[in-house]
Chain A
């Protein structure tokens, strides 16, 4: 093992760590650079990462339609002594590849922020008042901590007009041909998975990544929801219990998910069906992101709005259940036309 033989003198420099690079996977733990923290996950494959706690600074655009106004975030990676597994460690093991660059985390944070603003979980309206800004800041801090495990210590609105020229963006759009292709085969039965355009080639790694995320993160998410402090009352208790039960069943479903390529033993699945399965596992990962964002909201204001949020929780869980069940199904007849109606008569 040799973890404890590490001597400070031996350590090497990793280029960019602490500025443009946040974390990096290590093949040899003794090669951890000075000033960085090391985390490892034991399992069949041992994974070791070193990361620099920061601080880092990154600009994000809260609205895709307003590219010239942004937010400048400064964040650090801090350990919370009260939890057994740090959220940032889980993020590294679950989502980071060989390296986690500042740009990667910035893009992921921007995606989470834009999605949450579009859904209405966070509000950043025009002519934001001071009160609304504080509410937004609190929500943003909680979202980024719950989702990525980073602690935002400063966030200011910035004018990105110097780096991004919206007029130039529009000029490019005017000259470029309309390229966005129609989503694949939208009329084909249940194959119409939204928001995830079907990739052209079978991308097994994408499916594996999505399922790995679900496998690792669903138990942690369940733990977070279990620990929520809720108002007293029978309805609250029962809906809380129901959510926990459904999450456990979802984790079970992910743990027993059939492999991508096989219809039955010895019978490979055709590639169109594999693409359908991949699209559904990726859509399930999107629903997982929404569940983290919802957990952040519930952690913020756990008292009043529980029953209001219960509908949102129900929607997210129903989406997860739907996508996982579709991922599980080996075969959906895509030629089945809606002409021959075989729906149950009510």
Chain B
């Protein structure tokens, strides 16, 4: 590489992903990047377990087939701190996620800045962080051997990533697992700010537990539909404001599959397990009205709606729900990252978007959580009241913002 090809990589030099194994031990997969220098693209180090390190390399390489961007400049070195049992496979998802995180792929784009960037002036904040990060990497050009990194507990408040899942078709990005058991085992280790991603075995009819993200394929981390599945599921995120520290971005997932035979009442084809009747009714009315606006939406689909967090109040989830529905039905442009929306409407049949409450905390939360490629949709009424530099700060994180009065093109 020529020295003049300077670049500020905003990427972390190393990343970790944890996995609570079936026997209760906590395994940490550590991934680090270093210049390729004619070496293999992925190197795996598991001391004393060559078969597992070979399997890990195969898994990571297969999962990379789902990515569109290829970079031959870096080698990723993956290591495990303890040796899992030979029949254990739950660490596979952790290895794949660590490999993605260290290369800054969605949804981990700029994940390093997420925890610290404050609401205003995030752009400058990020710039200094990059400077600091490059200074550190210059001072220590050689990553320490991942096997020797002790899995010490980081400072409290720094979110950690947990994962449990495996796949027989990593090249298609499919993920499966035992989410219920994994969640029970992990519950002991999870701090409130931690993220737990589990492979979905499709058996969970009940709503997932709080704090657990279930995915059945890797694209679901950005809300995208699985391109090879017969059920089209898309997710959109909405800010859930609950008075300060417990604010989170919560997702809603809409799954559609073809309806056999026409002539059914639209609202009876929409199901949402685990939801109150009143919320369910509003949701059904919202979706059927929005499909009426769409023109080709009615009478074609059987629909299941799931929420990450089924207990909430208010109607600001509606815009996210409607957009997830349009994405799932293949009738909306697809954002590169996640779609984050807040808004409701009294006239979905006309495609109108009305304003919702809680502007300030929601704006702050969105800015804090937005990552590269995300698309933020807010009601038109918020446009005038946006803080100065808000749009710029979002853009600096790689996300884009639109304040809309109507869904659909322009």
Interface residues of A (CB under 8 A from B): 62-69, 115, 117-120, 123-130, 132-133, 157, 159, 161, 166-168, 170-171, 173-174, 178, 180, 182-183, 186-187, 189-190, 192, 194-195, 235, 238-239, 242, 246, 283, 287, 307, 310-311, 313-315, 318-319, 321-323, 337-339, 343, 346
Please determine whether A118 and B327 come into contact, CB atoms closer than 8 angstroms: no
Distance between Cα atoms of A306 and B6 in the complex (Å): 11
Tell me, yes or no, whether B225 is within 8 Å of chain A by CB.
yes
Q: Does B171 contact A (CB under 8 A)?
A: yes
With A and B bound together, what is the CA distance between A69 and B40 in angstroms? 41
Q: How large is the interface on B (under 10, 10 to 19, 20 to 34, 35 or more residues)?
A: 35 or more
- Whether B323 and A126, one on each chain, are in contact in the complex, defined by CB atoms closer than 8 angstroms, is yes
A196 to B54, CA, bound (A): 22
From known contacts A194-B70, A338-B54, infer whether A235 and B62 are also in contact, taking CB-CB under 8 Å. no
- Contacting B73 at CB < 8 Å: which of A68, A128, A315? A315
**A125 with B69: CB separation less than 8 A:** no
B189 interfacial contact with A, CB 8 Å = no
A115 partner residues in chain B, CB cutoff 8 A: 68
Partner of B295, one of A159, A171, A235: A159
Residues of chain A with a CB closer than 8 A to B1's CB: 314, 318
In the complex, which of the residues A119, A120, A242 contacts B4, with contact meaning CB atoms closer than 8 Å? Answer: A242
Docked-complex contact B6 and A192, CB < 8 angstroms: no
Q: With the chains together, A173 CA to B71 CA distance in Å?
A: 32
Known: A167-B258, A190-B40, A192-B41. A63 touches B333 (CB 8 A): yes
Chain B residues closer than 8 Å to A126, beta-carbon distance: 323, 326-327, 332-335, 339, 375, 377
Report yes or no: B62 in contact with A239, Cβ–Cβ below 8 A. Answer: no
Interface residues of B, Cβ cutoff 8 Å to A: 1-2, 4-7, 9, 39-41, 43-44, 50, 53-54, 57-58, 61-62, 64-65, 67-73, 142, 169, 171-172, 224-225, 227-232, 257-259, 295-296, 300-301, 323, 326-327, 329-336, 339, 373, 375, 377, 400, 402, 404, 407-410
Q: In the assembled complex, which residues on chain A have CB atoms less than 8 Å from the CB atom of B50?
A: 338-339
A112–B295 CA distance with the chains assembled, in angstroms: 30
In the complex the two chains form, is A65's CB within 8 Å of B71's CB? no
Question: Cα distance A157–B4 when bound, in Å?
Answer: 42
A161 to B299, CA, bound (A): 14
Q: Does the CB pair A119–B73 fall under 8 Å? A: no
**Across the interface, which residues of A come within 8 angstroms of B336, CB to CB?**
117-118, 120, 123, 125
Name 12 extra pairs, CB < 8 A, besides A66-B333, A126-B334, A167-B301. Answer: A64-B227, A117-B336, A118-B336, A119-B69, A127-B377, A129-B404, A173-B228, A195-B70, A239-B6, A242-B4, A314-B73, A319-B72
